[in-house]
């Protein structure tokens, strides 16, 4: 459930910093973030979907918004799509994880802890502004879009992926509730015990999970916002329908068990099945159904 529309912007931002700082160390394992061939392929497919194909030329200077632990930026660097990269996030904890992973992978980049709505960069200094799963956290989205336009060179590209759609968000409540109902039986079959309450989770920011999300988007509203902010060639597509229902079922089931009781073989099988359903969505459903039906929206636009 997103934050109430009356929650002040400063409060939402403080919640985002606290929540993501607390989540940073476990973030990659919680969300299955990968920096090897699987992660690279996922990111390549999402960016190609957003841009309408994989670009023939690299972007010399790129800025990521809400980089988190580096899922998009580090994989895009490895794929060679960007030259110089500046990775930004409002959470210093997430950027710390990103910098450590970049060092382990031997990747060169700059980081800056900053709010997306106030970017400490000169006008027209980037060829690409991009991000994954971040726009829905920004309380004043028009102000953030104005900043993205300001720092982009004319003709520069905006690309965001993994933004929740309004219907997709509603649809996700079905597997979440269904999985809660069958969870005791699932744990019995796997021999897993129910997750014990962790008192630390209510002190270190995890309890803010419901307060950090602000928007779920209707494609048409997003399209209008982008045009009003001075972008052209707006392209919005949907992704993940079956994979979304399955993914939330698995994540909810696993969340009810003690993590070490969930067998590695189950996790591996669940992840492979998820990837297979992503492929079914991409091949059969995404080209045929309207973007609003999917869980995630991917978008791109050109700075006028
Ligand atoms: C759902 S996470 C996604 C992280 C990463 N892009 C990924 O896909 O794994 C959202 C990120 O946006 C960041 N964020 C939230 N509000 C922000 C703001 N106002 N300005 C910049 N980043 C923000 C959070 O700290 C968090 O790292």
SS (H, E, C) the chain: CCCCCCCCHHHHHHHHHHHHHHHHHHHHHHHCCCCCHHHHHHHHHHHHHHHCCCCCCCEEEEEECCCCCCHHHHHHHHHCCEEEEEEEECCHHHHHHHHHHHHHHCCCCEEEECCCCCCCCCCCCEEEEEEECCHHHCCCHHHHHHHHHHHEEEEEEEEEEEEEEHHHHHHHHHHHHHHHHHHHHHHHHHCCCECCCCHHHHCCCHHHHHHCCCCCECHHHHHHHHHHCCEEEEEEEEECCHHHHHHHHHHHHHHCECHHHCCHHHHHHHHHHHHHHHHHHHHHHCCCCCHHHCCEEEEEEEEC
Domain annotation covers residue 258: no
What is the CA(268)–ligand 1 centre distance, in A?
A: 27
Domain annotation covers residue 183: no
Instruction: Identify the pLDDT of residue 2.
Output: 63
Domain annotation covers residue 279: no
**The total number of structural domains that make up the chain:** 1
Domain annotation covers residue 117: yes
Instruction: Identify the pLDDT of residue 30.
Output: 86
Task: Tell me the whole-structure pTM to 2 decimals.
Answer: 0.92
What does the mean pLDDT of the chain come to? 93
Instruction: Identify the pLDDT of residue 199.
Output: 58
Pocket of ligand 1 (CB under 6 A): 13, 16, 20, 65-68, 71-72, 89-91, 94, 115-116, 131-134, 137-138
Domain annotation covers residue 253: no
Q: What are the pLDDT digits (tens) for 273-300?
A: 999 999 999 999 999 999 999 999 999 9
Instruction: Identify the pLDDT of residue 69.
Output: 98
Instruction: Identify the pLDDT of residue 205.
Output: 60
> CATH number, domain at 110?
3.40.50.150
Minimum-distance ligand 1 atom for the alpha carbon of 64: 6
Q: Is the pLDDT of residue 233 over 80?
A: yes
What is the CA(302)–ligand 1 centre distance, in A?
A: 22
Q: Is the pLDDT of residue 1 over 90?
A: no
Q: What are the pLDDT digits (tens) for 46-74?
A: 999 999 999 999 999 999 999 999 999 99
Q: What are the pLDDT digits (tens) for 160-218?
A: 999 999 998 888 899 999 999 999 999 999 999 999 876 555 555 666 677 888 889 99
* Domain containing residue 236: 9-164+198-240+290-303
Domain annotation covers residue 189: no
Domain annotation covers residue 268: no
- Residue located nearest, by CA, to atom 19 of ligand 1: 115
């Amino acid at each position: 459930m997103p934050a109430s529309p009356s929650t002040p912007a400063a409060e939402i931002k403080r919640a985002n910093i606290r929540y993501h700082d607390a989540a940073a160390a476990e973030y990659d394992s919680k969300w299955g973030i990968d920096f090897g061939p699987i992660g690279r392929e996922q990111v390549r497919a999402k960016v190609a979907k957003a841009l309408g194909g994989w670009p023939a030329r690299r972007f010399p200077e790129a800025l990521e918004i809400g980089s988190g632990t580096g899922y998009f930026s580090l994989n895009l660097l490895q794929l060679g799509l960007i030259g110089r990269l500046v990775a930004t996030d409002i959470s210093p904890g997430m950027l710390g994880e990103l910098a450590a992973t970049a060092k382990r992978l031997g990747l060169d980049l700059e980081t800056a802890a900053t709010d997306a709505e106030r970017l400490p960069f000169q006008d027209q200094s980037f060829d690409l502004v991009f991000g994954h799963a971040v726009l829905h956290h920004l309380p004043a989205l028009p102000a953030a879009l104005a900043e993205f336009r300001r720092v982009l060179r004319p003709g520069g590209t905006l690309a965001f992926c993994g933004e929740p759609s309004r219907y997709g968000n509603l649809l996700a409540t079905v597997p979440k509730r269904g999985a809660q109902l069958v969870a005791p039986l699932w744990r019995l079959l796997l021999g897993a015990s129910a997750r014990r309450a962790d008192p630390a989770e209510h002190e270190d920011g995890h309890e803010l999970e419901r307060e950090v999300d602000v928007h779920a988007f209707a494609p048409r509203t997003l399209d209008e916002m982008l045009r009003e902010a001075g972008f052209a060639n707006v392209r919005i597509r949907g992704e993940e329908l079956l994979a979304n229902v399955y993914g939330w079922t698995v994540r909810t089931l696993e969340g009810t068990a003690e993590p070490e009781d969930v067998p590695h073989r189950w996790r591996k099988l669940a992840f492979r099945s998820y990837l297979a359903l992503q492929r079914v969505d991409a091949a059969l459903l995404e080209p045929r159904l309207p973007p609003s039906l999917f869980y995630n929206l991917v978008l791109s636009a050109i700075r006028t």
